[in-house]
């Protein structure tokens, strides 16, 4: 049987969804990685949010000796600039665009669709959300970096998209300085940025889940 390309979690109260969060996992994980986050958010049932958790394809990853693993794009070297395969990153962003299109076709207003991503998934989320040609509800960038800041084609429809950026102060994988730099780059491009840090490594924490829930309620309520 074919493996579904994404995990879809419908609203818990059986109401038809009228909002959607597309959430991209990090390197080496899959869509199930963030499945426990959804109930942990404790969103109000009235929000009726569908969560779409895509699975990355298997790609050889240079920094891991070319070993194939779930990846949105290849990472070419472990330096602060995070040299990445931009063509693969853009292909993953196009896949996110197709997922957004599918939600719109299913009857969800584009302004009630939030794009979110963790680590590698966050770099794709930056590219996907800020280049999408219909207005979205928000961008949530978690423990990540803005890999395509120099080359992205920014879409006019999302020039005022609210961007929520979270990072751990003790992140050994994506240094907090890189997350802050990404937020500053986006702010310099004119986006309204809210930047938060947490005393944690390359992960999520309970306090952060509460902040994500409040932010989603503000965007989708």
In what helix (H) or strand (E) does residue 6 lie, and over which residues does it extend? strand 6-9
Point out the catalytic residue in the list 119, 131, 166, 167: 119
Active site residue 45: no
Alpha helices in 32-110 (DSSP H): 37-41, 86-105
Angle at alpha carbon of residue 54, lines to 215 and 75, rounded to 5°? 95
45-67: b or e for each residue (b if 16 or more CB lie within 10 Å)? eebbbbbbbbbbbebebbeeeee
Kindly state the DSSP code that residue 133 receives in the 8-state scheme: S
Helices (H), 6-145: 37-41, 86-105, 120-130
Per-residue HEC secondary structure of 167-206 comes to EECCCCCCCHHHHHHHHHHHHHCCCCEEEEEECCCCCCCH
202: annotated active-site residue: yes
The answer to whether 171 is a known catalytic residue is yes
Q: Which of 109, 202, 203, 211 is catalytic?
A: 202
Catalytic positions: 119, 171, 202
């Amino acid at each position: 049987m074919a493996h579904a390309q994404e995990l879809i979690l419908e609203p818990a109260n059986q109401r038809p969804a009228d909002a959607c969060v597309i959430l991209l996992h990090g390197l080496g994980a899959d869509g199930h990685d963030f499945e426990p986050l959804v109930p942990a958010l404790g969103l109000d049932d009235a929000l009726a949010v569908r969560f779409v958790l895509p699975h990355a394809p298997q790609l050889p990853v240079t920094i891991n000796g070319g070993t194939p693993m779930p990846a949105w794009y290849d990472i070419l070297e472990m330096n602060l600039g995070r040299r990445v395969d931009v063509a693969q990153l853009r292909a993953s962003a196009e896949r996110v665009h197709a997922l957004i299109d599918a939600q719109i076709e299913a009857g969800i207003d584009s302004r009630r669709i939030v794009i979110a991503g963790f680590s590698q998934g966050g770099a794709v989320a930056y590219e996907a959300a800020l280049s999408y040609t219909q207005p979205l509800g928000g961008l949530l960038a978690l423990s990540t970096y803005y890999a395509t800041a120099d080359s992205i084609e920014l879409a006019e429809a999302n020039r005022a998209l609210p961007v929520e950026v979270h990072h751990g102060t003790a992140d050994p994988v994506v240094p907090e300085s890189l997350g802050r730099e990404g937020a500053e780059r986006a702010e310099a491009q004119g986006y309204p940025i809210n930047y938060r840090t947490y005393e944690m490594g390359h992960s999520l924490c309970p306090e952060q889940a509460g902040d994500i829930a409040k932010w989603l309620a503000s965007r989708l309520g």
